[in-house]
Amino acid sequence: MPATIETIDLCKRHGKLEVLRGISLTVAEGEVAVIVGPSGGGKSTFLRCLNGLEPFHAGEVRVGEHRLAPGEQNRQTLARLQLVRREVGMVFQQFNLFPHLSTLENVAEAPRRVLKLPRDEAIARAKTLLDRVGLADKLHERPERLSGGQQQRVAIARALAMQPRAILFDEPTSALDPRMTAEVLAVLADLAKSGQTMIVVTHAMNFARRAAHQVHVFEEGRILESGPPQQIFESPREKGTAEFLRELGGP
């Protein structure tokens, strides 16, 4: 399988604090990579570096044929960032929906504005995706009238509307109660079965066990251990991995 996303010795600092310390990771087309680990391990920062939301200080990010290099953003790198962001969608902890737009308009907006799709085509795509995430009956609702789980499912449909090569999920259920968490994880599991390339930062160990192809354990800005779910959860090789899972009470 060709690599969709690859990082090589990725390093990131906040002042003197090393947030990422040489992260090398490859995600193949159609792969579900799940990132777990203690808080403060650099998981969210890593995702934000992948699509240029944060600059990094050393290493390289490859998204398909596009490359992101270290350093602050300038006019040349901004052009590359736009290309990368068309290839890599992102779903955040908070939903970040446009409050003045309906559910349908939230999903159709980027395809119309960025991809220049005709309005009718963008609306048709949005309806199909909202049906896919179980919200066909909420097309004309504003975000304030939706539950948190419903808003997050709209955010997922919005990311899918750009037809990205990969989608990054930054703890997409952390702000949700158990029932809403189950709703969102069901959508993610469906995407995984469909072959959507995804990198998911999560504390939902059951999802990681069921849906991941590879699990990467982050600790203090490094990859402590990587492997298929069975190895990570049943036979971890690193003491830090075993301690992390034990603190969570197991998968």
**Residue 226 near residue 215, CB atoms below 8 Å:** yes
pTM: 0.94
Place 108 in a pLDDT band, splitting at 50, 70 and 90: very high
pLDDT (mean) for 177-182: 94
- Amino acid 251: pLDDT: 45
pLDDT of residue 250: 52
pLDDT in tens, 10-44: 999 988 899 999 999 999 999 999 999 999 999 99
Residue from 154, 173, 172, 199 nearest 51 by CA: 199
Give the residue-averaged pLDDT of 122-149: 97
What is the mean pLDDT of the segment spanning 92-108? Answer: 95
Q: To 10 degrees, the CA torsion angle through 44, 46, 52, 54?
A: 70
Q: How distant, in Å, are the alpha carbons of 36, 96, 145, 233, 236 from that of 217?
A: 5, 27, 37, 11, 10
pLDDT given for residue 52 in this prediction: 87
Q: Residue 69 and residue 71: Cα distance in Å, rounded? A: 7
Percent of the chain's residues with pLDDT above 70: 96
Summarize pLDDT for 56-73 with one digit per residue, the tens.
999 999 998 888 889 756
217: left (phi over 0), alpha (psi -120 to 50) or beta: beta
Length of the chain: 251
Distances (CA, A) of 173 to 29, 38, 118, 191, 244: 24, 16, 33, 16, 19
Mean pLDDT of the chain: 93
Contacting residues for 200 by C-beta, under 8 A, at least 6 apart: 32, 33, 34, 35, 168, 169, 172, 188, 207, 208, 211, 212
- Two structure tokens written together for 205: 């160990």
pLDDT higher than 70, residue 76: no
Confidence of residue 75 (pLDDT cuts 50, 70, 90): low
* DSSP summary character for residue 42: S
